[in-house]
Chains A and B, each alone.
Chain A
Amino acid sequence: MSFLIPCPHCGNRSVYEFRFGGEVKTRPHPDSPAAEWMEYTYTKANEAGVQKEWWFHRLGCRQWLQARRNTTTNEVIEAFFPE
């Protein structure tokens, strides 16, 4: 694993500068049924293809960003600061 992530603040940087934050998910409403919370807390889509992920630029701007990455090729299609 030695791909580059185009940090929107710092530019193309080695993945080793980043901390992986997992898949981007939507947090359920506090009153949502237990099954929905279970899904959110424990299950992962584990997409074989392009998925949206959280990354933290640990050794750079120290900001959380999101990236769309193809998990089969490690090609990072884009990286951006979420709104």
Chain B
Amino acid sequence: MADNSDRFTFQFDGRTIEARSGDTVASALYRAGRRIFTRSFKYHRPRGLLCLAGKCPNCMMNVDGTPNVRACITPAREGMTVRHQNAYPSLENDWLSLVQRFDRLMPVGWYYKTMTHQWSWHAAESYIRQVAGLGVAPQPGGGSKDYEHAWMHAEVAVIGGGPAGLQAAVEMAHDGSPVVLIDDQPELGGHLRYQKRAGAVASALVDQLRATPSAQIISRSYCFGLYEGNLLGVVQANPHGGAIERLIHLRAKRVVIATGAYEVPFTFENNDLPGVMLSTAVQRLIHLHGIKPGERAVVVATGAPPDEVAEDLSQAGVELVSILAPSEVIAATGATHVTGLRTKSGELSCDLLVMCGQRVPDAGLLHQAGGKLVWNQDRGAFLPAELPANVSAVGEVAGAWLARAMPLPPERVSFHKRSFVCFCSDVSTADLRDAMSEGFDHIETLKRYTTLTMGPCQGRMCQLAGIAICAHETGRTMTETGVTTARPPNPSVSLGALAGPRHHPFRRTPMHDAHDQSGAAWMDMGDWKRPRYYKTASCQSEQACVEEEYRAVRERVGIIDVSTLGKLDVKGRDAGKLLDKVYTNRFSDLKPGRVRYSVLCDEAGIMLDDGTISRLADDHYFITTTTGNLDFVQQWLEWWLVGTGWDVHITNVTGGRAAVNLAGPQARDVLHALTACDLSSRAFPYMACREADVAEVPALLLRIGFVGETGWEIHFPAEYGEFLWLKLLEAGKPFDIRPFGVEAQRLLRLEKRHVIVGVDTDALSNPYEAGMAWVAKLEKPDFIGRNALSRQAAAAAEQRLVGFIMNDASLPQDGAAILVGGALAGRVTSARYSPGNGKAVGLAWVSAKSSAAGAEIEIRVNGGTARARIVEEAFYDPAGDRLRM
């Protein structure tokens, strides 16, 4: 009941509307005199309240920036901003309503009939896009509110808060089972709320349920889908002030569907005029909102006289002009609101036309559950049969209390182009007849051709009428005609609700803040944030900064945070055996204190990942993986371990260890200042590893050289990440040390022709074609991929990964096409300007026959082509002397 003492206001199209506690947006607007609530999709005809239950498309508005909100089930709130949609300039004067004058030019199947040439679509597209669609999508970043997701589990989920749903929930929860009840209305009670004689029953049931501790009630939420494993998709409107909608993933052992039934309109000419309303909508206006719906009403009903509705109208002070059977009605009259009725026995004057229509079970979820819907002639409804286990239907949706109100299929259909079946897309009885005469007389093809049942209401208003007319025209029974398939989502769900919160978790390395202070320009790599390069006072552009960082590494010393590398600690008697089986290189014969590089292939010989493996002790190895592949590699190793009984323990230590790579001709001098470890090449040669303290931090030092200079990869406890980073920078100060980012690292490694698996290789790359034959030890008796690799080793390569250097100053983009003799012969995987060469260098896949060293290729650059030469060796220090210094 509306409470008259509590009044507040909201804005509609710039005007202030007074609302009362208990009002919906629609009821407040109706009380304020509004009769046109939207304009129809195709013809822009004025439309007013029809169902007042959230079932029809007639009151969709923009609420606080969110389009297509059903005003009739959205509670009015103080200060909200509501705008009309699909009309310009206003709902009362919509210029596009002129479209209906040209309806002859827009027959059913208009797109198929008109857009028969490509040019016709090109010519029409921009105009159609301007006028088509419903509502305007909110602009990105336009709102401060958000969407959220939640997960719930229940013993029983009851969908629908009417009497049947309430009763079911009370009974199921009574033994303490967790029960969740979902209801889409502002208040529980279903039709008992507005069918006044039963009002007391509703509140008693609601009180009983609220007093049951194991029952949870979620109001103003609709269930849009019932999926495999009894997973329910539920959207809750305004769960709290900070969220527009919450998507609840509700998993229930049992689902009770109590969605009830809704009333559907009759089809006659101008049945869509504002003022033509369903009887349940009129009852809602009177009993829920205390609104007198009109002055003079005509009631259209079949079967028994609608006593209750007549009584409600007279008590509300509405003059009842007449009660008619639908077969008497010819047309409603009026321009933008109903002013009268043309009947077989003459004209009647009225401002309210009340349709006591057929009640239709809201059975979409039952259909989705895999239930079969069977026509029941007595009840005039498709009712569930053969429901799956753990899904049941109660109340009107199961057929209780339903009665057929009219002959179905009808004995006569009045075909008229203004007699609407589908209110969402303006499909009339005449459109259906035309479509069927064109051959679309199966209910499923009729649906697809006319878009019947495909609009925002998803067939709630039109499905039964559509089937009935199809049955009538084709001479088939309702059963033979059948029902269109209901699929989720139904009703429609906003993309925002599905997408969920704008929350992207990411990982920071322990040195993150230090990078920030050094001017890091960030990039995303997998889950991680990494410095792409560092902005300093001395460089203005990314290119200049990267070149400075490059020169520091090549000429002095640089340091990069490589904490994001995947790090696996592998221990156990059989650790070497597992690595031998999974990696292509050999590890069981690796001496403790040594490091070896390897790739990881699948059984087809495709490279999946690469990294270094250090042997720390006889039964202890330390693996690094590429940043994004850690999970995959760990799962891969564990997979091949299953069932072997081998003694191997794999521990992911990625988050626990920080890592830096200190590289450059003076790297040894910097490190020497902080450690007692003998760093000379004699004591600590290239591809060796040592455990030693660095600045008193216990560390693992790997002497490896991804960037091509003397250097150490230092792994140490993450807690000391920032401490040791700053210590190293401090120790490097006398040598003008420079932190470098991912971009400089990529350039440095490219000059060395070091491949990045996943960048320079793809899902077809084997080590032979990638020029890394040495990494596959075919003499091992068995390893993953050996069989395929041994065949690839013997076969002629089809393509090869080669280095190239440009002939001129042009710089190709990664992915640029390679041409040989004008024909496509490959693609660039990485290309950068190489300061060491004064030209761009890169890696590229080239067809084997064009891949000889010294051969000329053409590369697509900026729409033209530039010439390049294939180079066999690394572009920098091909002998690797600098790594071993």
Interface residues of A (CB under 8 A from B): 1-4, 14, 19, 21, 28, 30, 34, 37, 40-42, 54, 56, 58, 63-64, 74, 82-83
Contact = CB atoms under 8 A, between A and B. Distances in A.
Contacts of A56: 635, 639
A65 B327 CA distance: 66
Contacts of B781: 30
A27 to B, nearest CB: 8
B642 interface: yes
Interface residues of B, number: 19
A1 B231 CA distance: 10
Nearest to B370: A73
A30 B782 contact: yes
Contact of A82 (B227, B228, B604, B642): B642
Given A30-B781, A64-B639, A41 B228 contact: no
A42 B781 CA distance: 22
Contacts of A30: 781-782, 786-787
B638 interface: yes
Interface string B579-606: 0000000000000000000000001100
Contact of B788 (A4, A41, A82): A41
Classify the interface of chain A: helix, strand, loop or mixed: mixed
Contacts of A82: 642-643
B604 A42 contact: yes
B791 interface: yes
Nearest to A27: B603
A2 B639 contact: no
B603 A41 contact: yes
Q: Which 4 A-B pairs have the closest CB atoms?
A: A2-B231, A30-B782, A2-B227, A2-B228
B475 interface: no
A21 B643 CA distance: 15
Contact of A1 (B228, B782, B786): B228
Nearest to A82: B643
Contacts, number: 43
A19 B632 CA distance: 10
Nearest to B605: A41
Contacts of A37: 603, 787-788
A42 B604 CA distance: 8
Interface in B770-792: 781-782, 786-788, 791
A25 B39 CA distance: 60
Nearest to B786: A30
B838 interface: no
Contact of A3 (B228, B635, B782, B788): B228
A42 B791 CA distance: 15
Nearest to B603: A41
Nearest to A32: B787
Nearest to A81: B642
A21 B229 contact: no
Contacts of A42: 604
A54 B787 contact: no
B457 to A, nearest CB: 26
12 contacts: A2-B228, A2-B229, A3-B229, A28-B787, A34-B787, A37-B787, A41-B603, A41-B788, A58-B631, A64-B635, A64-B638, A82-B642
Nearest to B151: A14
Contacts of B635: 19, 56, 64
Nearest to A65: B642
A82 B227 CA distance: 30
Contacts of A4: 229
Contacts of A2: 227-229, 231
Nearest to A76: B229
A26 to B, nearest CB: 11
Given A30-B781, A34-B791, A56-B635, A74 B603 contact: no
B229 to A, nearest CB: 5
B641 to A, nearest CB: 9
Contacts of A1: 228
B661 to A, nearest CB: 29
Nearest to B782: A30
Chain B CB within 10 Å — which of A1, A2, A21, A28 has the most? A2
Nearest to B635: A56
Contact of A40 (B229, B603, B786): B603
A40 B635 CA distance: 20
A73 B673 CA distance: 66
A16 B231 CA distance: 12
A2 B232 CA distance: 10
Interface string B216-231: 0000000000011101
Contacts of B639: 21, 54, 56, 64
Interface in B183-236: 227-229, 231
Nearest to B226: A2
Nearest to A36: B787
A74 B370 CA distance: 14
Given A1-B228, A37-B787, 19 more contacts: A2-B227, A2-B228, A2-B231, A4-B229, A14-B231, A14-B251, A21-B639, A30-B786, A30-B787, A34-B787, A34-B791, A40-B603, A41-B787, A54-B639, A63-B638, A64-B635, A64-B638, A64-B639, A83-B643
